[in-house]
A and B are shown apart, each in its own frame.
Chain A
Amino acid sequence: MASNETCTLEVFRYHPDEDKEPRFQKYEVPFRKEWVVLDALNYIKDNIDGSLTYRWSCRMGVCGSCGMMVNGTPKLTCAAFLKDLVPATIRVEPLANFPVIRDLVIDFGDFMNKLTEVKAWMVPKEKRSIDEGEYRQSPEQLSEYKQFTMCINCMLCYAACPVYGLEPKFIGPAAIALAQRYNLDSRDGAAEERGNVVFSNEGVWECTLVGECTEVCPKKVDPAGAIQQAKLAASKDWAKRVLMPWAGK
């Protein structure tokens, strides 16, 4: 911290039309104990350098837009308080393992494609007309997958996952957690279709359980748990098919 009233941010800058390599730029911003890193970035944009580019929306940990690397750790910048980071210089970078479009903005097209690949949506087991009423579910059935519905697609888990960094074809933590969310839903009927992707070489078996995806998740979704549970379910299915082939008939 430069003085009692200010703190220093070292921000990753990359302009695709002007820079061949990214660079870091230091900014001195006012220190307020109630400010988060996103407030500091907004201060820079409004008062020091209007060209600084980043994503944000809700400022309350719901939209998942403002994920960045703060001192090397993936965080929602709307939940990273300056008071927990000063007096050291605060380094802000775009989420790791994703291509950078400009400054702190990443290209998350790969993640969106993976959500489509795993069919991260409800495919009803049985089609019903409106007259037949709603798809009913007990609280016990809801509790099976509720934790995984908390995912806000912030992609912090991908930035923390070295497997995704080394092998970008890996379907990755959030997409698999969301696939698991629908597979465990009693109303859904597309588990087998998802299995073609989730249990492929690029799916759950690529995960070596580093576990950092779960550690950085701001919503306690536990994607590492979802992946291990999917592995266990697949192994049980396989063992059942091999050891008791008559059981499925």
Chain B
Amino acid sequence: MASGGATSTGPGGSKPRNYLRPMPVLWWLKRPAYLKFMVREVTSAFIAGYALCLLVLMCGAGDADGFHTMFVSLQSSTSIALHIVVLAFALFHTVTFFNLTPRAIVVHRGEEKLPESAIKGAHYAGWVVVSAVLFFIVLRG
């Protein structure tokens, strides 16, 4: 933890000796909202890592043998557990991110703002549509 301290007195003692308080290394544990923010940010790193792994796996599945190997490895209990964790992280990140969208997107209709629920609702609706399309493509394949 960094230490705080008083700034030096200027020539003739004219400047006040202001006290600078240190920012604790564990500042993100000071308030629940800070912790939630950190979790939100960390989950994005896990999702990015997962996306990279999936990409590497898919690159190695160019032929029938490679695809079979990938398919078998994805069915292992370790893989299923990993996917459940990543799914939980993805859901947490998505929900917390969508809940913040009304901060950035403000739509005026005359003098009135579109309610936050409409902005959030549009994002959730988009999420459902994209997921449904992906499900359709995967199941059809």
Residues of A within 8 A of B (CB): 14, 16-17, 20-22, 72-73, 96-97, 99-102, 107, 139-140, 142-144, 162, 165-166, 208-212, 214-215, 222, 224-225, 228-229, 231-232
Give 7 CB contacts A-B under 8 Å.
A16-B6, A96-B21, A99-B18, A210-B37, A211-B103, A225-B106, A228-B104
Interface string of B105-137 (1 = CB under 8 A from A): 110101111000000000000000000000000
Q: Shortest 10 CB-CB distances between A and B: which pairs?
A: A228-B104, A99-B18, A16-B17, A100-B19, A225-B103, A143-B111, A165-B23, A210-B37, A228-B103, A139-B111
A225 to B107, CA, bound (A): 13
Task: Find out whether the CB atom of B34 lies under 8 angstroms from the CB atom of A162.
Answer: yes
Which residues of chain B come closer than 8 Å to A209, judged between CB atoms? 37, 100, 103
Which residues of chain A come closer than 8 Å to B112, judged between CB atoms? 143
Residues of B within 8 A of A (CB): 4, 6-7, 16-21, 23, 27-28, 30-31, 33-34, 37, 41, 100, 102-106, 108, 110-113
Task: Find out whether the CB atom of B20 lies under 8 angstroms from the CB atom of A99.
Answer: yes
Q: Which of B6, B27, B28, B103 counts the most A-chain CB atoms under 10 A from its CB?
A: B103
Say what secondary structure dominates the interface of chain B: mixed
A232 touches which of B30, B100, B105 (Cβ 8 Å): B105
In the complex, how many angstroms separate the beta carbon of B77 from the nearest chain A beta carbon?
Answer: 36
A143 to B109, CA, bound (A): 10
Which residues of chain A come closer than 8 Å to B110, judged between CB atoms? 140, 143
Which residues of chain B come closer than 8 Å to A210, judged between CB atoms? 33-34, 37
Using A22-B19, A107-B18, A208-B41 as known contacts, say yes or no to A165 and B104 having CB atoms under 8 A apart. no
Task: Find out whether the CB atom of A100 lies under 8 angstroms from the CB atom of B41.
Answer: no
B19 touches which of A73, A97, A99 (Cβ 8 Å): A99
Please, which residue of chain A has its CB at the minimum distance from the CB of B33? A212
Which residues of chain B come closer than 8 Å to A142, judged between CB atoms? 111
Which residues of chain A come closer than 8 Å to B16, judged between CB atoms? 16, 101-102, 107
Q: A143-B108, A210-B33, A211-B103 are in contact. List 17 more A-B contacts (CB 8 A).
A: A14-B19, A73-B31, A99-B18, A102-B16, A107-B18, A162-B23, A165-B23, A166-B23, A209-B37, A211-B37, A212-B33, A222-B103, A228-B103, A229-B104, A231-B104, A232-B104, A232-B105
